[in-house]
């Protein structure tokens, strides 16, 4: 079991250091893990997805300790099942959520609280998405960028994933404007999380293709299971990378810039955040239980 919490660290922190602040406890309404976390600088708020509770929770940016969320988006009207990625559009005052079970992209008022129906929902077979892992929004270009799988066969990274680009105001069963996918992208298992900045797409890719040994209910081994899953890959796996594409890219397009290799120590990079002013990319890695900072001003 994990200890659900959201930790904030000093930007220049390195090594085995304690967080500056931690949000935790039953009153926080955090479940096993917040699969997607984003920071809204426009209102100084931290927003996290709670897939096990089918909810999205929001905290004030400077809080720490056992504190209740500022808002909780949850209920039958929300159409949330297993929310994963979250993004905030400070220009149009909207909250966008990607659902990992339904493959839907749902847009709400940015201050939605309680059992609130989405303003718009991208959903259906024409989207090409089965499980949305994360998303970002480009309000200047009126685009939503989602990383998702083509099919959903249980937990873990599935083959056939890619980057899906939609019009921000699209709704219903619509096809993406563009899709970045194919063998030359290097995304054999599909990307995990994404950030969008200044017409560029930054995505984490682990390609570890981890498959849990139990069925979706967690009560019995899957057919053909002969034992526990393989141990994690070695640090600096050649399969793990951070890829950067232009938001205008389409098709089987290799990344324009790549962070990868043994020196990165990455195994299963997932969460990603950007600091363009300092030329830094931040990545969390579940394979090694660490957060990495890369100084790559040339990537911006």
pLDDT of residue 156: 41
- Flag whether pLDDT at 30 surpasses 90: no
- Structure token pair of residue 156: 């873990």
Centre a 10 Å sphere on the Cβ of residue 54 and count the other Cβ atoms it contains. 20
- Pull the structure tokens for residue 28: 């926080």
The tokens for 220 are 């019995």
Task: Please report whether residue 105 resides in a domain.
Answer: no
Whether residue 253 is contained in a domain is answered as yes
DSSP reduced 3-state for 21: strand
The half-sphere exposure of 181 on its side-chain side, counting CA atoms within 13 A, is 19
Per the structure, the complete domain to which residue 284 belongs is given by: 124-299
Give residue 35's pLDDT band: very low, low, confident or very high (50, 70, 90): confident
Report, as an integer, the average pLDDT of 63-88. Answer: 93
Determine the Cα–Cα distance for residues 87 and 213; give it in Å rounded to an integer: 32
Residue 223 lies in a domain: yes
Task: Give me the number of domains the chain comprises.
Answer: 1
Confidence grade of residue 259 (pLDDT, cut at 50, 70, 90): very high
pLDDT of 101 > 80? The answer is yes
Q: Is residue 20 part of a domain?
A: no
When comparing pLDDT for 262 and 197, which is higher?
A: 197
How many other β-carbons are positioned within 10 Å of the β-carbon of residue 30?
A: 23
* Ramachandran region, residue 224 (left: φ > 0; alpha: ψ -120 to 50; beta: rest): left
pLDDT at 66: 87
Position with higher pLDDT, 215 vs 291: 291
What's the pLDDT score for residue 229? Answer: 56
Confidence at residue 1, expressed as pLDDT on a 0 to 100 scale: 44
Residue 283 is assigned to a structural domain of this protein: yes
Residue 277 vs residue 26, higher pLDDT: 277
pLDDT at 5 > cutoff 50: yes
Helix (H, G, I), strand (E, B) or coil at 132: strand
pLDDT tens for residues 81-94?
Answer: 999 999 999 999 99
Q: Which residues of 214-236 are buried (b: 16+ CB within 10 A; e: fewer)?
A: eeeeeeeeeeeeeeeeeebbebe
pLDDT number for residue 65: 87
Give me the pLDDT at residue 288, please: 84
List pLDDT tens digits, range 149-197: 865 444 443 455 899 999 999 999 999 999 999 989 998 877 899 999 9
Q: List Cβ neighbours of 142 (8 Å cut-off, separation of 6 or more).
A: 167, 168, 169
Q: Is residue 71 part of a domain?
A: no
pTM of the model: 0.87
DSSP labels, 131-144: EEEEEEEETTTTEE
pLDDT the model gives residue 158: 44
Would residue 152 count as lying in a domain?
A: yes
pLDDT digits (tens, 9 = 90+) for 102-143: 999 999 999 999 999 999 999 999 999 988 999 999 999 999
pLDDT at 216 over 60: no
Query: Please, which pLDDT band fits residue 217 given cuts at 50, 70 and 90?
Result: low
Residue with tokens 């066969």: 153
Whether the per-residue pLDDT at 222 is higher than 70: the answer is no
Mean pLDDT of the chain: 87
The answer to the question of residue 285 being in a domain is: yes
């Amino acid at each position: 079991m994990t200890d659900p919490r959201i930790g904030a660290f000093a930007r220049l922190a390195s090594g085995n250091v304690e967080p500056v602040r931690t949000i935790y406890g039953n009153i926080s309404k955090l479940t096993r893990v917040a699969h997607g976390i984003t920071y809204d600088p426009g209102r100084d708020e931290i927003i996290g997805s709670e897939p096990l509770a089918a909810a999205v929770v929001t905290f004030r940016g400077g809080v720490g300790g056992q504190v209740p969320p500022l808002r909780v988006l949850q209920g039958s009207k929300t159409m949330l099942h297993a929310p994963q990625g979250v993004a905030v559009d400070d220009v149009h005052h909207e909250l966008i959520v990607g659902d990992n079970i339904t493959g839907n992209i749902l847009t709400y008022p940015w201050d939605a609280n309680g059992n609130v129906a989405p303003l718009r929902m991208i959903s259906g077979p024409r989207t090409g998405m089965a499980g949305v892992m994360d998303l970002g929004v480009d309000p200047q270009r009126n685009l939503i960028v989602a990383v998702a799988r083509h099919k959903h066969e249980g937990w873990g990274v599935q083959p056939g994933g890619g980057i899906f680009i939609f019009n921000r105001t699209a709704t219903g069963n619509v096809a993406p404007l563009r899709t970045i996918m194919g063998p030359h992208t290097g995304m054999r298992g599909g990307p995990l999380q994404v950030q969008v900045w200044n017409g560029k797409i930054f995505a984490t890719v682990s390609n570890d293709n981890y498959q849990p040994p139990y069925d979706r209910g967690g009560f019995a081994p899957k057919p053909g299971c002969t034992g526990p899953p393989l141990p994690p890959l070695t640090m600096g796996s050649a399969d793990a990378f951070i890829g950067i594409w232009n938001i205008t890219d389409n098709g089987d397009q290799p990344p324009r810039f790549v962070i990868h290799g043994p020196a990165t120590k990455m195994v299963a990079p997932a969460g990603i955040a950007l600091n363009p002013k300092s030329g830094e990319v931040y990545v969390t890695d579940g394979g090694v239980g660490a957060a990495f900072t890369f100084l790559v001003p040339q990537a911006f």
